[in-house]
Amino acid sequence: MASYQEQLKTDMQRLEKMLQRVVAPQISTKQCATTIDDSTRILNLACGSCNEAGTLTDFFANLKALDQPEAEQKIELLGIDVRAREIADAQRRFPSGKDSAQNIQKDYQFLTGDASKLDSHRALDEHFDVVFMRHQNFYNGGRVWEEIFEQALSKLKQDGQLVITSYFDEEHQLALNAIQKLGGQLVDSQQNLESRKLPTAGKSIDRHVAVFRRKD
Ligand SMILES: C[S@@+](CC[C@H](N)C(=O)[O-])C[C@H]1O[C@@H](n2cnc3c(N)ncnc32)[C@H](O)[C@@H]1O
C-alpha cells in the first residue's frame, strides 16, 4: 500500500494534469504577456494545510514561462482557512523564497481566518489573477459557502479565473449552480477520471474541476 507521502505526490501530479487540461486552455498568451513583469496572484480559500501550494505556484509560473522562458517568474499565493493548526502546517511546509532551478520567486502567506468575511483582512485589499478552492464544502453548510463563493468572485481581477475542485458529483453540481447564480460564468467543468477513490462510496480526490470567470 502506498504511503501518505506517495499518495500525496500522485494526487498532486493528477491535479497538475487536470489543471493543464481544464485551466491552461483558458489563459491567453496575451494575459501571460501583459502580466509577465508582475506577480501572478493566487488566492486559495479554505485551503486547509494547502497541500497544493507548490503545485499551483509551479503550474502558473510554468504557464507564464511559455511566453518568456528567460524571465524570472514571480508568484504570490495567499491561503486562508479557519483552522489554525492546518494554517501553521502550511506555513511550516511552504516558506517563501527563490526556486533557482526554475527561476521562480515564490511568496507564500497563510492566514487563519473566515473566508466568508475577507474584507476584514488588509492583506486581501487587492484583486487576484486566480481564486482557487480545492474540495469546496458546499454540501456541509450552503449559506456559509455561498458567502465564500461571493467573496471569491469579488476578489477576482476582471479577467481572473475562479477554479474549484469537488469530492463528489452532487456537491459539485450544487456548487456549479450556486456560483452561477452569484455571478460566475461557467467556462468549463470536467471529471477527473484518474482521481483517487476515498473510503466513502462516490467520493474521490479532485473528482471534478471547474473554471469560472466573472460575468460583469
Ligand atoms: C473539505 S476541506 C478542504 C481543505 C483543503 N482545501 C483540501 O483540499 O484539503 C474544507 C475546508 O474548509 C475550511 N472552512 C470551512 N469554513 C470556512 C470558512 N468560513 N472560512 C475559511 N475556511 C473554512 C475547513 O476548515 C476545511 O479546511
- CATH code for the domain in which residue 72 is found: 3.40.50.150
For ligand 1, atom 13, name the residue with the nearest CA.
46
Q: Is residue 48 part of a domain?
A: yes
Question: Quick one: pLDDT band at residue 37, thresholds 50, 70, 90?
Answer: low
Q: Is residue 137 part of a domain?
A: yes
Q: Is residue 183 part of a domain?
A: yes
- The neighbour count for residue 106, using CB atoms within 10 Å, is 23
Count of structural domains, the chain: 1
- Please state the pTM of the whole predicted model: 0.94
Interval between CA 47 and ligand 1 midpoint (Å): 6
Q: Is residue 5 part of a domain?
A: no
In this prediction, residue 16 carries a pLDDT of: 96
* Burial readout 162-171 (b: 16 or more C-beta within 10 A, e: otherwise): bbbbbbbeeb
Q: Is residue 141 part of a domain?
A: yes
| φ and ψ of 56, to 5 deg | -70, -45
Q: Is residue 190 part of a domain?
A: yes
Q: Is 115 in the pocket of ligand 1 (CB under 6 A)?
A: yes
Q: Is residue 23 part of a domain?
A: no
Interval between CA 37 and ligand 1 midpoint (Å): 32
Q: For residue 121, give its domain range.
A: 41-214
**Is the separation of the CB atoms in 130 and 60 below 8 Å?**
yes
Q: Is 135 in the pocket of ligand 1 (CB under 6 A)?
A: yes
Q: 88-114, pLDDT tens digit by residue?
A: 999 999 999 998 878 889 999 999 999
Distance CA 155, CA 86 (A): 23
Q: 135-194, pLDDT tens digit by residue?
A: 999 998 889 999 999 999 999 999 999 999 999 999 999 999 999 999 999 999 999 999
In this prediction, residue 112 carries a pLDDT of: 96
